[in-house]
């Protein structure tokens, strides 16, 4: 065979002919009347041959439907070259309410809606498979309203007027790329008066255009603290805008967003956020403890042995791992003359002002001389001292120290005695006391007993008779009574505990009053140990690890600034337990960062997470991960699809639409292989002929 003849034959055999390719071409997901009976998807055959799609499958993230035809006087399931087909539910009203082409093939699914329960108004993924289960096309669309549909036009997806069964058309504005950066000079400010920020807008490419800039400051709960009027300026190259708001101490998020009069092809850089903190006192690089004021001293500034004094202290904690604060009194030789008072500080870069009680020993045996003693405050690798003159003895304490054996009334016929009461209790924890009541009278006695913790006129353990119990004490008998109380919330310090006893409904109760110290509960200290986003073909997830360094936490809240499908997630953490969570992100294409917040009665920790950019362009299955930046103690969702074909909309709303090019790539590869094979054989024949 002549090599020229062979060349012609090989070209006919090996080079593939043009094939019909079915594409998802238009999506009507949110019709004006809101019913799924008016939803539809348009398919388009952009090839040169008729193709039968009988047995093909179309579906969303959670449900697939088989396509059928011929139900509405259509032409079955054959879509001609350059022809359109409309996919609806089996009870559709589309052809009554839309101006659809009569030439379009009418296809339907086996139930009354496409997908699980109709097309999602907020956007989702639509898949198209052939009868062999091969993925033919895949499209991700975003939310759309106003009776508009998503149109595939000029290689990209756009929002526009419906063209049911007709050629799509959209008026394309000029393309551009503008970016915005929210700039703060630092993360932590010691003085709100010195806080300032800038908004920097840059034209990366494109003609000059009007840019509208919005900016606001919110707290960590998403509440707007400072809102600014929108401004619109024509920007040729770049522009900077500076502001100096006056803010109270707290933690805030600065967010700025831009919109342009041109078609911005990269909406991912049209919003920026920065976290910043304003402290109520200058931030120090070192932790410290200071004695501020000593209360309960006499006019001569002296204390007595046996007295309980109160000391106001100031604490500043940096990022040191130490947290315990201790106070006591001693002489110059280190001999202590008081009990210890303790408190704990857990939150980093925080200033505390507390009042701690301190009981000086009674000195009933005159062990310590009257002289100046040293008040010691120590913790966080810092200490402070103050000299106090202590003299004199509190006589009543030497006779009875926190014990009342009995109080005799009515000729010792009815007595009561406090058997047990702790000297210190913890905030948020139950505690108990024991009381013995003796009835030596000839008749039985009905006794009501209750107790509460108070200071001044305020009760801190709930209602004053919340734990009231009633007992029938027989004549000539004794009853031991146990009482339980709980102080949910109180500042650390010295309080009073009162027991009330009412016999036989008498108006005047018998009372026992004692002092007790309330200490703070064991600290709640949960931290975010890692956070990143992972993107696969199923979507983008936020994976975080959280560890509890303090006591057990019930219903710890994990919040983000609007990125999660559920803004708040709660978990329980045991002491020293670490948990990993994977949370699904919403489709929000304009964000490049998110803030994660741990909250349990207060903010425990938060991090800024940099989000992955939408840069996937090949046919492989990959994962994209992002790094995290911890701002103190320390969504961009992205489908793993085959190519990004559009990043803008006619209505200027943030959107990114994906189109599969699996078949295109496959056909191109087959063509290249065929041509190379033909060329190789022709070269061999030519060499032999020579």
Q: What is the pLDDT of residues 605-635, one digit of tens each?
A: 877 777 654 433 333 333 334 334 333 333 2
Among 278, 310, 332, which residue terminates a domain?
278
**Which range, 417-431, 519-533, 637-651, is most confident?**
417-431
CA distance 43 to 129: 12
Mapped onto helix, strand or coil, the DSSP state of residue 688 is helix
- CB-CB contact of 449 with 469 (8 Å): yes
Tell me what pLDDT residue 192 has. 63
Q: For residue range 421-443, what is the model confidence (pLDDT) as tens digits?
A: 998 898 888 999 999 999 999 89
Query: DSSP secondary-structure letter at 338?
Result: B
More reliable by pLDDT, 257 or 10: 257
How do strand 78-79 and strand 68-69 relate by DSSP bridges? Answer: unpaired
Among 519, 541, 567, which residue terminates a domain?
519
CA distance 216 to 224: 7
Rg (CA), the chain: 39
The percentage of the chain sitting over the pLDDT mark of 90, rounded to a whole number, equals: 32
Tell me what pLDDT residue 169 has. 79
Residue 687 falls inside a structural domain: no
Going by C-alpha positions, the residue among 62, 147, 72 that lies closest to residue 107 is: 72
How do strand 424-426 and strand 510-519 relate by DSSP bridges? Answer: parallel
Lowest-confidence region among 343-347, 387-391, 640-644: 640-644
pLDDT band at 70 (very low <50, low <70, confident <90, very high): low
Going by C-alpha positions, the residue among 322, 252, 319, 251 that lies closest to residue 284 is: 319
* Same domain flag for 162 and 238: no
Confidence check: pLDDT of 12 > 50: no
* Same domain flag for 122 and 39: yes
Any idea what the Cα angle at residue 468 is, between residues 464 and 471, rounded to 5°?
A: 150
Query: Six-digit token pair at 281?
Result: 């006192």
Outline where DSSP puts E strands in 206-349. 209-219, 224-227, 231-235, 238-243, 250-260, 263-264, 271-278, 288-295, 302-305, 308-317, 324-330, 341-344
Lowest-confidence region among 61-70, 184-193, 519-528, 625-634: 625-634
pLDDT band at 383 (very low <50, low <70, confident <90, very high): very high
pLDDT band at 35 (very low <50, low <70, confident <90, very high): confident
- 396 φ/ψ sector (left φ>0, alpha ψ -120 to 50, else beta): alpha
* Same domain flag for 512 and 438: yes
Residue 684 falls inside a structural domain: no
Query: Six-digit token pair at 371?
Result: 């002289």
* Same domain flag for 323 and 409: no
CA 575 vs. chain centroid, Å, equals 21
User: What are the counts of helices (DSSP H) followed by strands (DSSP E) for the chain?
Assistant: 4, 52
Residue holding tokens 């008066």?
193
* Same domain flag for 265 and 386: no
CA distance 287 to 284: 7
* Same domain flag for 92 and 166: yes
Number of domains the chain is built from: 5
Confidence check: pLDDT of 10 > 50: no
Tell me what pLDDT residue 607 has. 79
Longest CA pairwise span in the chain (Å): 140
Residue 689 falls inside a structural domain: no
Domain of 440, CATH number, reads: 2.60.40.10
* Same domain flag for 227 and 304: no
Residue 528's alpha-carbon distances to 261, 550, 633, 653, 686, in angstroms, are: 41, 13, 9, 33, 71
Among 278, 306, 339, which residue terminates a domain?
278
Confidence check: pLDDT of 259 > 50: yes
Tell me what pLDDT residue 386 has. 93
* Same domain flag for 603 and 558: yes
CA distance 145 to 649: 13
- 617 φ/ψ sector (left φ>0, alpha ψ -120 to 50, else beta): alpha
* Same domain flag for 61 and 95: yes
Going by C-alpha positions, the residue among 128, 135, 123 that lies closest to residue 107 is: 128
Q: Which range marks the domain in which residue 124 is found?
A: 3-171+658-666
Mapped onto helix, strand or coil, the DSSP state of residue 680 is helix
Any idea what the Cα angle at residue 375 is, between residues 374 and 380, rounded to 5°?
A: 125
Query: Six-digit token pair at 361?
Result: 């020993």
Residue holding tokens 């040191």?
320
* Same domain flag for 26 and 113: yes
CA distance 161 to 32: 12
CA distance 433 to 484: 7
Mapped onto helix, strand or coil, the DSSP state of residue 220 is coil
What are residue 159's DSSP bridge partners? 150
pLDDT band at 165 (very low <50, low <70, confident <90, very high): very high
Domain of 109, CATH number, reads: 2.60.40
Query: Six-digit token pair at 30?
Result: 């949110």
Query: Six-digit token pair at 162?
Result: 């419906």
CA distance 348 to 350: 5
Query: Six-digit token pair at 448?
Result: 């009501």
* Same domain flag for 23 and 166: yes
Query: Six-digit token pair at 330?
Result: 């001693």
Residue 69 falls inside a structural domain: yes
Confidence check: pLDDT of 668 > 50: no
Residue 436, burial from CB neighbour count under 10 angstroms (0-12, 13-18, 19+): middle
Whole-model pTM above 0.95?
no
Residue 685 falls inside a structural domain: no
Residue 513 falls inside a structural domain: yes
CA distance 406 to 501: 14
CA distance 315 to 292: 10
Residue 653 falls inside a structural domain: no
* Same domain flag for 84 and 229: no
pLDDT band at 11 (very low <50, low <70, confident <90, very high): very low
Residue 267 falls inside a structural domain: yes
Mapped onto helix, strand or coil, the DSSP state of residue 346 is coil
Q: For residue range 104-161, what is the model confidence (pLDDT) as tens digits?
A: 999 988 888 888 788 888 888 899 999 888 989 999 888 887 788 888 887 778 888 8
């Amino acid at each position: 065979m002549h090599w020229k003849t062979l060349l012609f034959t090989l070209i006919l055999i090996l080079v593939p002919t043009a094939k019909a390719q079915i594409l998802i071409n238009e999506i009507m997901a949110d019709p004006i009347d809101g019913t799924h009976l008016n939803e539809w998807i348009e398919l388009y055959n952009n090839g040169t041959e008729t193709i039968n799609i009988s047995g093909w499958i179309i579906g969303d993230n959670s449900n697939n439907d088989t396509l059928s035809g011929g139900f509405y006087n259509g032409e079955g399931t054959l879509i001609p070259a350059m022809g359109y087909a409309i996919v609806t539910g089996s009870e559709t009203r589309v052809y009554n309410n839309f101006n659809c082409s009569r030439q379009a093939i009418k296809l339907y699914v086996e139930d009354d809606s496409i997908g699980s329960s109709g097309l999602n108004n907020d956007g989702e993924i639509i898949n198209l498979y052939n009868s062999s289960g091969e993925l033919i096309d895949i499209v991700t669309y975003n939310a759309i309203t106003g009776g508009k549909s998503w149109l595939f036009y000029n290689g990209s997806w756009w929002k526009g007027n419906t063209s049911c069964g007709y050629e799509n058309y959209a008026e394309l504005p000029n393309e551009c790329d503008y970016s915005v950066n929210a700039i703060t000079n630092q993360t932590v400010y010691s003085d709100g008066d010195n806080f300032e920020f800038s908004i920097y807008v840059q034209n990366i490419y494109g003609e000059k255009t009007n840019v509208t800039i919005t900016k606001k400051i919110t707290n960590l709960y998403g509440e707007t603290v400072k809102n600014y009027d929108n401004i619109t300026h024509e920007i040729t190259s770049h522009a900077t805008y500076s502001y100096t708001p006056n803010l109270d101490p707290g933690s805030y998020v600065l967010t700025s967003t831009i919109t342009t009069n041109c078609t911005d092809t990269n909406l991912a850089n049209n919003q920026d956020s920065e976290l910043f903190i304003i402290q109520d006192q200058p931030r120090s690089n070192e932790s410290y403890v200071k004695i501020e004021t000593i209360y309960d001293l006499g006019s001569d500034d002296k204390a007595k042995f046996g007295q309980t004094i109160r000391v106001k202290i100031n604490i500043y904690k940096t990022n040191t791992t130490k947290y315990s604060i201790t106070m006591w009194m001693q002489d110059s030789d280190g001999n202590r003359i008081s009990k210890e008072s303790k408190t704990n500080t857990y939150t980093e870069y925080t200033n505390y002002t507390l009042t701690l009680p301190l009981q000086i020993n009674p000195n009933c045996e005159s062990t310590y001389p009257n002289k100046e003693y040293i008040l010691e405050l120590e913790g966080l690798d810092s200490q402070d001292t103050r000299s106090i003159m202590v003299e004199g003895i509190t006589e009543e304490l030497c006779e009875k120290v926190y014990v009342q054996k009995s109080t005799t009334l009515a000729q010792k016929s009815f007595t009561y005695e406090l058997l047990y009461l702790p000297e210190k209790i913890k905030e948020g924890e139950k505690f108990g006391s024991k009381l013995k009541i003796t009835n030596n009278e000839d008749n039985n006695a009905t006794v009501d007993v209750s107790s509460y913790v108070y200071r001044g006129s305020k009760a801190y353990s709930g209602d004053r008779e919340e734990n009231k119990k009633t007992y029938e004490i027989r004549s000539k008998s004794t009853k031991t009574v146990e009482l339980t109380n709980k102080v949910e919330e109180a500042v650390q310090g010295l309080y009073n505990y009162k027991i009330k006893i009412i016999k036989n409904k008498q108006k005047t109760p018998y009372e026992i009053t004692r002092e007790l110290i309330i200490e703070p509960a064991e600290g709640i200290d949960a931290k975010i140990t890692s956070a990143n986003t992972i993107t696969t073909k199923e979507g983008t997830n936020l994976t975080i690890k959280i560890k509890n360094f303090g006591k057990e936490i019930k219903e710890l809240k994990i919040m983000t600034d609007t990125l999660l499908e559920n803004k708040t997630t709660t978990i329980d953490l045991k002491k020293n337990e670490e948990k990993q969570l994977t949370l699904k992100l919403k489709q929000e294409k304009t964000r490049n960062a998110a803030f994660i917040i741990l909250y349990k009665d207060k903010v425990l920790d938060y991090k800024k997470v940099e989000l992955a950019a939408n840069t996937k362009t090949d046919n492989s299955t990959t994962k994209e991960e992002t790094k995290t930046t911890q701002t103190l103690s320390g969504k961009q969702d992205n489908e793993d699809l085959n190519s990004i074909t559009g990043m803008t909309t006619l209505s200027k709303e943030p959107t990114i639409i994906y189109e599969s090019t699996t078949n295109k790539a496959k056909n191109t590869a087959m063509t290249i292989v065929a041509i190379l094979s033909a060329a190789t054989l022709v070269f061999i024949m030519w060499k032999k002929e020579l």
